[in-house]
Structure 1
Amino acid sequence: MRDKLLEVKNLKVSFRTYGGEVQAVRDISFDVYKGETLAVVGESGSGKSVAAQSVMKLIPMPPGQIKSGEILLNGIDLVSKSGKEMEKIRGKEISMIFQDPMTSLNPTMKIGRQITEVLAKHQKMSSGAARARAIELLKLVGIALPETRMNLYAHELSGGMRQRAMIAMALAANPRLLIADEPTTALDVTIQAQILELLKELQAQLGMSIIFITHDLGVVANIADRVAVMYAGQIVEVGTVDEIFYDPRHPYTWGLLASMPDLDTDNSTELMDIPGTPPDLMNPPKGDAFAPRNRFALEIDFEQEPPMFQVSDTHFAKTWLLHPEAPKVEIPEAVRRRMRKLATNYDKPLLAEGGRHHG
């Protein structure tokens, strides 16, 4: 039995606005095991980033509020921790890398100084030891000439190098959990592949767990062990990466798969879209939130919220289609075509041999 590093139980997070209360995360539960990567996927506004930031208690309070639930890191509940106590946990136990490093790196401080400050605070290193370790970290994340680039500001680095520098800073205190919130969205596809490969290599070397937040299912195929699919503030399906890609059970997951471009997509390839828009979380709908966009919706979907049905020991989906008395629904052919394509494409390495270079 694998050890759990993180347990999130019945988490509810809301934001108070002038228009009312936005129920951003609505009663979600998930675990992260030691040494694994859990990908959390969903459209913009699905609650995935709010859930991740709640783990580190980074949501602004007010207007944000953790209404209820537990966030257990090695059995210790973070929800009850004060801001001062969380400062000791952030960086040391849990680190985060963001979509845009320019909003996270200090533009007035050299890259090396930003990393050595983390080392001095959490590892209690002397200035000389911190500098040597910072150079090691920059080398570890694939930045050439680290001694020189220590002395550069963020704006003097390319986008790929800034992201690598931010990863180095996040790893400085040897965190047990790394949260990566859309870390490759702003990068071109070649640099994106390099950063994903880098995260996999670092995880293997350091043994840390990763929560990888993304709106793009294609990105997770080569990095995740398990996948949680979020919609309208809830987890609607969770399973191993193979279960989500090759045996998806929720119609929303089908839509995400069918609308996902792959390595061979061109202008002539037809992608299936998900009709409609996500619901207003100020007034969440009755029943299944996905029902208005779901062409397989049953009458009960508009009346009663489905429970999580168990598909296997590791696979669960929140859809009435899994009820024993529900009519049998075949996975749409567009989804099957995508699954067959994925089976071919994602057996290939992200980068061909010799294709790596520093971004």
Structure 2
Amino acid sequence: MVSKVVLSLNNLHVKFKTLSGTVNAVRGISYDLYEGETLALVGESGSGKSVSTKAITKVLPPNAAISGDSITYKGENLLKKSDSKMNKIRGSEIAMIFQDPMTSLNPILPVGFQIAEPIIEHQHLSKEKAKEKAIKLMERVGIVKAEERYSQYPHQFSGGMRQRVMIALAVACHPHIMIADEPTTALDVTIQAQIIELLKELNKEFNMSTIFITHDMGVVANIADRIAVMYAGKIVEFGTANEIFFNPKHPYTWGLLMAVPDVNIKDQDLYTIPGMPPNLLHVPKGDPFAFRNKYALNIDLEEEPPMFKVSDTHYAATWLLDEKAPKVEPPKEILDRWKYFEDHIENKQKEG
């Protein structure tokens, strides 16, 4: 059975005008999001993950310019919608969990009221009914003594509890799509695991489709159905979780996988990808990853690679997949981590 497409990005571009020039933050990305799935966007900071998702709901700053063919939701192009029409979609149909709840929550308003507010706005419930629903949501996301804590302020909550408040706020109107922007980055490992489990439960409970943004491939193994690897504003590899973890094709993906520490490997050196991502004020000629890629070919310095098809669900933008390219296998260090990822993905599939 083919899953229904709930959101479709087609050739999305985002540019920022700055005093130094124009930053090409997102450069022509396309993908579909399916009903009920979790799609992970992974990559280093500055790869365009958060910017691309903020473009969906048009919550970028004034110096941003969004262009492209379409962002299709419910048969309509969001790129053509006015801000007033987008206000009806934001929060009610497409919701976002931000990375830092302390800066995302209003410090001078009680957390319970902040959860109740969109319920009043979008579902047109009375203040009393909205409060009742907000308290139930606070209980559902694991906030004990929710009725008492309804009137407390963000600074009175721990980091993990603030993130639970953000999740309750995001699901308050039962959105169709959830965008989770690095929701576990600032949390310790134990709380991080709890938040991941909560998000997976809510995804099923509310029948949501989720876009999960992270730089942590270990987290991705626990939650993603499909993965888009982003670098320098573009998607450089796309596939199912199994394909990305156990048959990666792009050298950048290899680097991300090798950078994940495995507690089962003793005395391992932590791997880092050499060099720095390019300055997108001036996009380099050829493949932007070429200068960090020890497998780079001469053509990488001249021409950006197209997306090569690996399977019906797996694509990668690397000249190593060209029929004329030399045969190059993933580094052996990736093999050491496959058991780690296999265990995480197997657990996820058992739950699902």
TM-score bracket for the superposition, by shorter chain length: over 0.9
Q: Indicate the residue corresponding to 1:289 in structure 2.
A: 288
Q: Indicate the residue corresponding to 2:325 in structure 1.
A: 326
Q: Indicate the residue corresponding to 1:85 in structure 2.
A: 85
Deviations 1:136-181 (A, max 9, x none): 1111111111111111111101111110011101111111001000
Deviations 1:85-104 (A, max 9, x none): 11111011100011110111
Q: Indicate the residue corresponding to 1:199 in structure 2.
A: 199
Q: Is 1:262 matched up with 2:253?
A: no
User: For 1:341 and 1:323, how far apart are their aligned partners in 2?
Assistant: 30
> 1:265 Cα shift?
5.6
Deviations 1:78-120 (A, max 9, x none): 1111111111110111000111101111111111111111110
> 1:345 Cα shift?
5.5
Deviations 1:55-74 (A, max 9, x none): 1111112x111132311112
- Describe how 1:46-125 pairs up with structure 2 within 5 A: 46-61=47-62, 63-125=63-125
Task: Say which SS state the counterpart of residue 102 (structure 2) adopts.
Answer: helix
Deviations 1:282-310 (A, max 9, x none): 11111111111111111111111111111
> 1:341 Cα shift?
3.4
Unaligned residue ranges in structure 2 (runs of 5+): none
User: For 1:265 and 1:23, how far apart are their aligned partners in 2?
Assistant: 39
User: For 2:272 and 2:33, how far apart are their aligned partners in 1?
Assistant: 31
Cα distance change on mapping 1:162 and 1:292 into 2, 3 Å: same
Counterpart of 1:29 in structure 2: which amino acid?
A: S
Counterpart of 1:85 in structure 2: which amino acid?
A: K
> 1:348 Cα shift?
5.4
Deviations 1:236-279 (A, max 9, x none): 0010111111110000000000011134366x212332111111
Task: Say which SS state the counterpart of residue 311 (structure 1) adopts.
Answer: strand
Q: Indicate the residue corresponding to 1:165 in structure 2.
A: 165
Counterpart of 2:123 in structure 1: which amino acid?
A: Q
- Describe how 1:33-48 pairs up with structure 2 within 5 A: 33-48=34-49
User: For 2:128 and 2:276, how far apart are their aligned partners in 1?
Assistant: 54
Question: When the two structures are superposed, what TM-score results if normalisation uses the length of structure 2?
Answer: 0.96
Q: Indicate the residue corresponding to 2:297 in structure 1.
A: 298
Contact 2:42/2:49 (CA < 8 Å) preserved in 1? yes
Q: Indicate the residue corresponding to 2:276 in structure 1.
A: 277
Q: Indicate the residue corresponding to 1:245 in structure 2.
A: 245
Contact 1:218/1:262 (CA < 8 Å) preserved in 2? no
> 1:225 Cα shift?
0.4
Contact 2:67/2:79 (CA < 8 Å) preserved in 1? no
> 1:131 Cα shift?
1.2
Q: Indicate the residue corresponding to 1:21 in structure 2.
A: 22
Cα distance change on mapping 1:345 and 1:119 into 2, 3 Å: closer
User: For 2:102 and 2:193, how far apart are their aligned partners in 1?
Assistant: 20
Contact 2:224/2:241 (CA < 8 Å) preserved in 1? yes
Counterpart of 2:309 in structure 1: which amino acid?
A: Q
Task: Say which SS state the counterpart of residue 79 (structure 2) adopts.
Answer: coil
Count of residues in Structure 1 that have an aligned counterpart in Structure 2: 347
Q: Is 1:307 matched up with 2:311?
A: no
Task: Say which SS state the counterpart of residue 7 (structure 1) adopts.
Answer: strand
> 1:49 Cα shift?
0.6
Question: When the two structures are superposed, what TM-score results if normalisation uses the length of structure 1?
Answer: 0.94
Deviations 1:11-50 (A, max 9, x none): 0100011111000000110111011000000000001010
- Describe how 1:161-240 pairs up with structure 2 within 5 A: 161-240=161-240
Q: Indicate the residue corresponding to 2:134 in structure 1.
A: 134
> 1:125 Cα shift?
0.4
User: For 1:223 and 1:205, how far apart are their aligned partners in 2?
Assistant: 15
Q: Greater shift after overlay, 193-202 or 75-84?
A: 75-84
